[in-house]
A and B are shown apart, each in its own frame.
Chain A
Amino acid sequence: MPARDADRLALAEGVRQSLGIENELTRPQARAYVRCLQTTWQVPTIVWGERESAQQLSDARRLLHSAHIFRSIEGPGSTRAVDCFRRTGEILEWLSRAGDNIRSIVPIELLAAAAYQLGGLPAMATGLLDQVESEHEGVLLYAAFLQANFDLVLRRAMLFWRANGDLTTRNASQLLLDAMASEDPDRGVSWGFTVELIRCLGLVADCLRRGDDGRLKIAMAKLQALDGMAARTFSDDAALVVGLLRQVAEGFVAASIYKPLRALAEIRPERTSLLLSYARDQFSRGRGILWTSQIYGLDRLLREASFALCTPTGSGKTLVANMAVIKELLLREHDTPLSPLALYIVPSRALAGEVEAKLNAELGGEVIVTGLYGGADWGITDYWLTSERPVVLIVTVEKAEALLRYLGALLTARLALLIIDEAHQVVPGASEEVRVSFSDHNNRSIRLEMLVSRILSQRPDVVRIALTAVAGGASGPVARWIEGRAEAQAIGVRYRSTRQVIGVLEATPGAPGRILLDLMNGRRLYLRGKEDPVYLPLRYQPMPQLKATWRNSLNRFNCLNVLWNALHLAEENQRILISVAQEPEKTMRWFKEALELDTWQALVRFLQPEGDLRARYEEACAACHDYCGPDSFELFLLERGIATSHGQMPQRLRRLMVEMIDKKICPITVATATLTEGVNLPFDLIFLTSLKRRSWDAAKEESIVKRLSTSEFRNLAGRAGRPGAARGIEGMTLVALPKAISATGNGQLQTQRRQMRERAEDYDTLRRQLLIEQQDADVVDSPLALLLDCIWTQANRLLGIRPDDFLDWLEKTAPGDVSDDAGTGSTDSHARLADVMDELDGVVLTALEEVVLIEQADMTPARAEAALRALWATTFTAVSAARAALLEAAFIRRGVGMIETIYPDPAERRRLYQYGFTPLIGRRFDAVASKIRSLIVAAGNYGDLGAVARIDVFENIGTLLQGDRGFGFRVRATDGDHAILANWPRLLGWWMHEPGAPGPDPKDLRAWQRFVADNLEFRLGVAIGAVVAGAWSEGVPDATTLPSLAEWKATTRLPWFGFWARELLRWGTHDPFVAFCLAQGLAHTRKAAMARRAEFDAWLDGEIGNPEAEDRIDPQYFGRWQKSLPRQERSAAMADETQVRLTGTDGGRERYPVIPIARGQATEWLDPAGFQLAVSVDPNRGRVNRWRSDYELHVSEGRASVNRVFRPGRRP
């Protein structure tokens, strides 16, 4: 180490400390950012002078120099250099976006983008450069390079070569030298340099995306030499840009996805080409250059099997998961006869859809990817079970549980990989709610914990990967849990893919709206009380005065003010989410009523999309019409470009709404928080209309007010400004706050003043909490620990159980001994305690029963103890909780008590396990299960029945459930919900699409949908599913029997109705054929699917003649009919080989990468470095998007041809 390096580092550290600390902005930096935002929003800016710009530029240069010192001494991975680069990028970006005249010194966006790339923030670089509108071809070319958009680099380079044909000849280098030696001022050293630089960047881009390391080395050597030359001969700024391009290029080379994939290929060299084409495909999707988090993740993937990857949303975790799928399913040799399977656990059904689409687009050719979309437990086709191809199952925890009950032994035998997305969700939230969720049996954390733990204890060798967001601070415990090692550490990377601004949208009657900005990435933008607040005054007309009845509700005034501003902002191409805390139907109604007014109508400038998107939009409208009705708010809003989404919306419509947002068809969205749970959608702006949820506790007769937690808020805010998706670089999350009351009559003044004050206080509280950084914790709450602790504290408090007696009490006491109301949804404290105990029993019973199934041996207290001890060791609780030993003892004692005292009958335990309810509720269900089964068995003529008779079958089953509050129907304690429950058969008719069945009034739609989701889809579906699963288990000779449609009826001894029932409830139809068509995408609406019925019936008649009732709904026939349909022909003729004439090569290398440029009727085939190699004449054939493909020139035996060797794939 040179003598003064320590001194140099100290100097650089001084600069970093004063200017570049990640979570702190200096006051001038904060001001620079505010000015930048104000300029972007075209509103008057704060006072700012040229000297301040000069100072910022000087700071940026000092930071760059410090980064240089850190890098040259600490190496390219120096995190302190990263800090300096990031801040440099920010300062330059802010100056550049503020339209500062320093842009006349150098294209400053290029410097900013390069600094972001070197600071490991590629998305910021891309986002910033997306805004660049340069008149200069060179700036655009370098911008494309700094965005890692290699397709575009090549396109721009080729435009250059087309315009400079004289430079593409074989002896072009010599021409340039000659030109340099001449006195022509327009063809000097700099021109020669520029031409060589374009050659270099084109070649680097092509070699990177093709994975051609040999020529990449040459291109990089040339780039380094050019940089060396620029540093000596060019002006400071030109040299700086060239130097940064060189450094960024080196970063790209180091981060190419080819590198880890080649390393992976060593596991199974014969599959190298598969991996290389995967890598090439990633480049065409803009993901060929790995982000830091991905490099770390893949490094672990290469070295080890299981690990936790802990980086924020948007940092590219999915790619790591995909590579794990490749490694474990496609590269490893498996000695089982069945193909391997990966279980990919996601937190929501919506996310399952997103992951499924992405995985299918990338790996669909090699593996079967299925989210088992629909209602049936193992899907309506059996191809994933019987195929020899590896399978990825994307499931929620609930779906995984159901699958395990059905096919446990099969699944565990095939399981090769377990991926847990959003694994931090194993940490339960606030404790009071958690306790209630235990007693309501709807706590997801414990389901996740126990599912994973059971899998780990049954298959300790299975490879598992946890993907988690940093938020929640549980990375350490999650890593220990997943890896099963006390010293395990999560792979964590500091990373923000976007900038988040938090503030307020102020609403004052009669005045234009105004945005107050408070925080940027958790940093204050101004000092309250010391500096002027930072405002963005909006330039639109104020919202017209509302009718008196409307403005008497401050909430309505506030919501409509949001819509008024959103409609204006949408015109500026902003994508907006209006996030409502509750009762979305009320907001939707307000919006509809406002948009019916003339003044508002004029603001709606939504144009239906053109081209392919038109069909998608029409499909969404049709589905909305189908499921919500012609008069629904949802359809009214959708027709005006406003998408809606909430948790009760039918799944198919929700998917389509998400598509309307994702494809940027609808600029405005109104939704509850369920829309954004884990799903990436492109919003620039998020408005929150409230920070509170209110509900009514009927038992206590009091209103429950719940504030939005900071983690909920952070999750929501994280959806704003998604990289590459949104227009601006930052996402803004604005809380809508009225600044004056809206009512004009005296009656409401006091109330509105109080409401206004409360809203302001809610926001202040939130803002303060957001300033406190989340810390990683070593000990965090765990679900099982909370569950056990909840039992202990309540037993002690309610029943007076003393600490020394607790374990004995726990071993012997049944939930029914604690409360007669157990399992009825009662909110009484004793009943709740009993229900929490029942929840624990469910956990224990499931675990023990699965052991019995695997080991095929009776359960004894001693075996139970051993099994539970082994299970405990694999729980999240064991690695995360304090007092783990005590909790473990309680867990085991309960298990022993279950076997000995509480549920001593093994046959009953088996049945209870199959049902999937908690045992106490399962016992009651046992009594109706046989009745349900009889009803299913009796439905053998379902295929021939009319709609009403079919729906009666469901009604008869539902009647068995309607009275029970455990497994049966449950509604909220409101008058409206009680009325719905009393009238549920009418609602069933509507949902199951009974002809002529009246639908709800639009304002009641969501309440109906809620009943459908909670009780018809869920509870009725679960009950039927439990009976069907039981029938299957009874019928199979052993647990490893492969289910198939061919064997289903013989095994279950049930008619096809049993197979379809859940699916019908999910799709809202009485006809299995309709469900099939919708699930397979053969029709867009239920009506359209019904219209195809005749087509199928005719086919069936022709196929078998005189079909019977069961034939009409036999899924095997549906499948065969689908296969008989004519397939869509591949659109473009492939025509991949072209004969060419060699022009600039003797063909000695035999194979040459080439890129086409069109010139008249001819295509010139150029080397990526800009040398023409061959020419062909192929008038106008297949010239679409050619620069995104790879072509290769082949020369052999005097024949020369060009082949397309890579064609970009479909983007999901």
Chain B
Amino acid sequence: MSLHTAPPPMAALQAWLKALGSIENEGNYGHLLLEQVGVCDDALAAALRPYFESAHLDAREYFHRQLGIDLHPDGGRAAEVCYPNCLPETAKRGLFGEVMAGLVTEAYQSEFVGSHQWIVPIFLFRNHDDVENYLWALKADPGRAREIYGRHGTDFVGISLDAAGEVARMIVGECKWRRNLTESAVASLLYGPKVENEETGELERDGKGIWYEINRDSPIPWGLRQLQRLLELKDPEGYASAIYSIDRAVLGDGAKPERTDMVLIVGNGAKRRDEGDCLIGWEELPVDYTAGYALQVVEVILKGGEELIAKLYSSLWRGT
């Protein structure tokens, strides 16, 4: 069984990040600013390593299992691979953001909107290159419109169980890493990249950013269904009630679990940023968020984050 079990390294987090949380909008909007105060050194990487290994363990097993089967008729030459270490840097940074979402959710739940008790039994790591482009067309076609077959799905899902073990609430997150969290980079994240307006000839945001994705997500994200599938495989007894309650949610039978949406942005602070500055306002619920659930925004502002990521990911399953 390879469920995620490692606890967040609380002491290391407290030394590393300063937390500034707020709950507004009648308790429906939470904002948590995590600013780096400590250093990104080997000790931090070592402290984070067990959590990251635990988060990646399931995907690693599957990746290895898949790659370990060589279909060549002469066989016998299983590829030497070490996931996720082998991935390119860009991919690792994406994964880092997703694990950070879980880590922050578990570690700072008392600061989160609603103060629910969140658990992340397993991590789903979304691969953000356009799998459909390959799967359906059997070739990478740069000229083809991206995403014709719809959205990728949620980056992150956590759950909160009630006394009976049923899913009482879920937290569904969009998690994004950017090396430099400049105003323009954040606008791109939230509102989509700039494209030329055919009528005016001006560059405008295409509107397909985080808010767009999060607002159009289905009430029961399919990610929850996939989380359920993994629970069924890995611990059907232990999570029997959670599994049942997800059935109920997916089949639309009875009350749905409550929902919290999360937007997590992680990266290096912009040069001109002052301490305490926020990328998304903490005082008011962002007007672009229209899905109507409780919303938790998390900003993780680092210095030299990419070095930390490189250090951390090169140490996974290699550390002592």
Contact = CB atoms under 8 A, between A and B. Distances in A.
B126 interface: yes
Interface of A: 2-5, 7-8, 11-12, 14-15, 58, 61-62, 65-66, 69, 72, 104-107, 134, 136-139, 141, 160, 163, 170, 173-174, 177, 180-183, 185-191, 193-194, 196-200, 203, 215, 218-219, 221-222, 225-226, 228-229, 231-239, 241-242, 1145-1146, 1148-1149, 1152-1153, 1167, 1169-1171, 1173
A225 B65 contact: yes
B140 A187 contact: yes
Contacts of B77: 173
A1167 B140 contact: no
A233 B88 contact: no
Interface in B100-130: 124-127, 129-130
Contact of A231 (B69, B152, B229, B251): B229
B49 to A, nearest CB: 21
5 contacts: A69-B247, A72-B232, A136-B137, A219-B71, A231-B226
Contacts of B41: none
Interface in B146-170: 148-153
Contacts of A193: 131, 134-135
B73 A65 contact: no
B74 A4 contact: no
B258 interface: no
3 smallest beta-carbon distances between A and B, as pairs: A236-B222, A225-B66, A4-B244
B89 interface: yes
A183 B88 contact: yes
B92 to A, nearest CB: 11
Contacts of A226: 66
Contact of B251 (A65, A187, A215, A1170): A65
A191 B140 contact: yes
Nearest to A183: B88
B138 interface: yes
B78 to A, nearest CB: 9
Contact of B149 (A141, A231, A237): A237
Given A177-B86, A225-B65, 5 more contacts: A8-B243, A193-B134, A225-B68, A231-B230, A1170-B71
B59 interface: yes
A14 B251 CA distance: 9
Contact of A1149 (B74, B81, B136, B142): B74
Contact of A181 (B58, B88, B135, B153): B88
A691 B232 CA distance: 57
B62 interface: yes
A188 B88 CA distance: 9
Given A137-B138, A203-B71, A62 B81 contact: no
Contact of B151 (A58, A62, A235): A235
Interface of B: 58-59, 62-63, 65-75, 77, 79, 81, 86-91, 124-127, 129-140, 142, 148-153, 222-223, 225-226, 229-230, 232, 236-237, 240-241, 243-244, 247-248, 250-253
Contact of A160 (B88, B138, B230): B138
Given A190-B129, A198-B138, A232 B69 contact: no
B224 to A, nearest CB: 10
Contact of A229 (B66, B81, B230): B66
Given A65-B225, A197-B135, A1145 B125 contact: no
Given A4-B243, A8-B244, A12-B247, A235 B132 contact: yes
A180 B151 CA distance: 22
A233 B127 contact: yes
Nearest to A236: B222
A141 B138 CA distance: 9
B3 to A, nearest CB: 13
A232 B125 contact: yes
B71 A138 contact: no
The secondary-structure label for the interface of chain A is helix
A239 to B, nearest CB: 7
Contacts of A221: 69
A1150 to B, nearest CB: 11
Nearest to B253: A11
Nearest to A139: B136
Nearest to A182: B88
Nearest to B124: A232
Nearest to B235: A2
A1169 B232 contact: no
Nearest to A215: B73
B151 A229 contact: no
Nearest to A105: B150
A599 to B, nearest CB: 48
A1099 to B, nearest CB: 57
A254 B69 CA distance: 22
Nearest to B223: A236
Contacts of A141: 138
Contacts of A1145: 73-74
A185 B146 CA distance: 13
Nearest to A203: B71
A1171 B226 contact: no
A96 to B, nearest CB: 14
Contacts of B241: 3-4
B71 A177 contact: no
Given A65-B250, A66-B251, A1173 B73 contact: yes
A222 B126 CA distance: 20
A239 B227 CA distance: 13
A1146 B136 contact: no
Nearest to B137: A136
Contacts of B139: 137, 163
A136 B140 CA distance: 12
A218 B140 CA distance: 28
Contacts of A236: 153, 222-223, 225-226
B138 A1169 contact: no
A1153 B74 CA distance: 12
Contact of A170 (B72, B125, B153): B72
A190 B73 contact: no
Nearest to A173: B79
Nearest to B238: A2
A933 B72 CA distance: 76
Contacts of B66: 196, 222, 225-226, 228-229
B74 A225 contact: no
B138 to A, nearest CB: 4
Contacts of B71: 196, 199-200, 203, 218-219, 222, 1167, 1169-1171
A3 B136 contact: no
Nearest to A235: B152
Contacts of B125: 232-233
Contacts of B59: 229, 232-233
A318 to B, nearest CB: 36
B150 A235 contact: yes
B150 A11 contact: no
A177 B72 contact: no
B294 to A, nearest CB: 23
